[in-house]
Amino acid sequence: MPAHRFVCGAALAVLLLAVLPAAAPAAEAKHDPRRTPVVEAVQTSSPAVVNITSTSVVEQRSMPGLFGQPGLGQFLNDMYGLPTRRYKRESLGSGVIIDGARGLVLTNAHVISGASEITVRLLDGRELKAELLGADPDFDLAVLQIKSAKSLPQAAMGDSSNIYIGETVIAIGNPFGYTHTVTTGVVSALKRSVRSGDQVLTDFIQTDAAINPGNSGGPLINILGQVIGVTTAIQAQAEGIGFAIPVNKAKRVINELLTKGSVSPVWLGLAGQDVDQRIANYFGLSKVHGMLVTEVHQPSPASAAGVQPGDLLLELDKVEILDKDHYLNLLRNFTDKQEISATFQRGDARFTKKLQVEALGKNRVLALVWRRWGLRPAPNSSRGGVALAAVAQGSAAAQLGLLPGDVLLQIGNNRVTNADAFTDAFLRHRMQSVLMIRILRGGRVYYARLAL
């Protein structure tokens, strides 16, 4: 082949190289169109999301059922006194590391309820033991600490006070045991209320991001990779409706759990009664709802705001008040020094006040118990209940015949096993006019009706 043909071929190759576009430099790889803000947020946050396995020990009779009939099995168990057997039961949930240096994990309280052993599994495959530092069932939040924590990632905590309805959110968790599952959606609504048993939980973020069993306790993040909520519930009756606890509320609960060991009950300093049709007609209400204020304690957040007996409380933090029990349930959603709004009606005029809820310390609770019920509980529990140290003369308790040394076993539907349970029962029932109580005296148990 002639030599000039090789030269022409080489020249053509050089010409082609000059014309064809050069390969993209390494720096341009960062502009991969697939790396959306959602992808980057997931990659940033996923290492801090953990799978939580809680193990509890369950006792069960050796014959729980027979021929598919649990009742028949129970009958035979009772008749023949069959021994119980113990076995371990595991439940799965999610959590997020909020402090890598201390190994702190935020999750739902129900995820670790009753657990005797807690294990967390990280994205990198590490499985580590964790212990419970504090939990509050009313807020459904718990803080765990990973033992022997080293080189742990942590999530960035966001701000739930400026969430946009319609903004993109991402849920990361372990639904049905599928670890680090990512689902996306938008914020559907804010300040939603959800009823759970006899309790009303408020201030939820509603989202259509898929949340399934096992997601509980995992983070809801924005496209900046910041935690703005803790996924906690799904609406079983409908698809595409899930709920998350706002991260600002979680921060307040975490602070109280870590500094005090528990979340202090709060109050506004109000006592009241249910609204009947007569009261509703007086205030011109279209339906029966609200709580009529009968007493304003001094000093208290309500007295500082100028609330007066005779005012009608209609809304608390934009949630319509149904009755006094509903009001007390709603108070359990707030933490010390949190500012909330309350809507009242005085005569024909409606007005809204900003109030800062206040913690009810132990001494103040005991003072209210003495004033309202005429009881002073002994500091230590006794025989499975709470013994009475004193009974106020002329009080409802004295008129019933209660005496020092009697042991309270139950107040309303609340079992009173210790001082904390007694306080909780008082806070739940302090506005009741009649209470059923169960008392232990001289080795015998009595039921009595306490009229207040």
Q: Is 138 a catalytic residue?
A: no
Domain 266-359: which topology?
Pdz3 Domain (2.30.42)
**pLDDT mean across residues, the chain:** 86
CA distances (Å), 66 to each of 89, 205, 214, 238, 405, in order?
22, 45, 31, 36, 47
- Percent pLDDT > 70 in the chain is 83
Domain boundaries, the chain: 49-76+84-146, 156-260, 266-359, 362-451
Q: Taking 80 as the threshold, does the pLDDT of residue 6 lie above it?
A: no
Class for the domain spanning 49-76+84-146: mainly beta
Question: Is the predicted pLDDT of residue 222 greater than 80, yes or no?
Answer: yes
Band of pLDDT at residue 60, cut at 50, 70 and 90:
low
3-state secondary structure of 113: coil
Which residues are CB-neighbours of 140 under 8 A, at least 6 positions away? 108, 109, 110, 201, 232, 245
Identical fold between 266-359 and 362-451? yes
The residue behind tokens 């933090």 is: 317
Q: 128 near 119, Cβ under 8 Å?
A: yes
Express each pLDDT in 342-385 by its tens digit: 999 999 999 999 999 999 888 899 999 999 999 999 987 666 89
Q: One of 45, 91, 160, 216 is an active-site residue; which one?
A: 216
Residue 388 is predicted with a pLDDT of 93
Q: Work out the average pLDDT over 223-240.
A: 82
- Retrieve residue 215's tokens: 């997601």
| Cα–Cα distance for residue pair 29/32, rounded to 1 Å | 6
pTM of this prediction exceeds 0.85: no
140 part of the active site: yes
Pairing of strands 156-157, 226-234: parallel
Q: Are the CB atoms for 210 and 243 separated by under 8 Å?
A: no
> 240 — alpha (psi -120 to 50), left (phi > 0) or beta?
left
State the pLDDT at residue 49. 96
Query: What does the pLDDT look like over 371-382, one tens digit per residue?
Result: 999 999 998 766
311 labelled catalytic: no
pLDDT digits over 66-100, tens only?
A: 445 555 555 556 555 555 666 667 778 999 999 99
Question: Residue 5 — pLDDT band, cuts 50, 70, 90?
Answer: very low
pLDDT at 63 over 60: no
- 99, 136, 140, 317: the active-site residue: 140
CATH 3.40.50.2300 fits 362-451, yes or no: no
Read off the pLDDT of residues 178-220 as tens digits, 9 standing for 90 and up. Answer: 889 999 999 999 988 887 666 778 889 999 999 888 889 999 9
Is the N-terminal amide bond of 299 cis, ω within 30° of 0?
yes
CATH tag, 156-260: 2.40.10.10
**244-302: pLDDT as tens digits:** 999 999 999 999 999 988 898 999 999 999 999 999 999 999 999 999 999 999 999 99
Angle at 342 between CA 336 and CA 347, to 5 degrees: 145
Residue of 46, 99, 110, 326 with catalytic role:
110
CA-based max dimension of the chain: 127
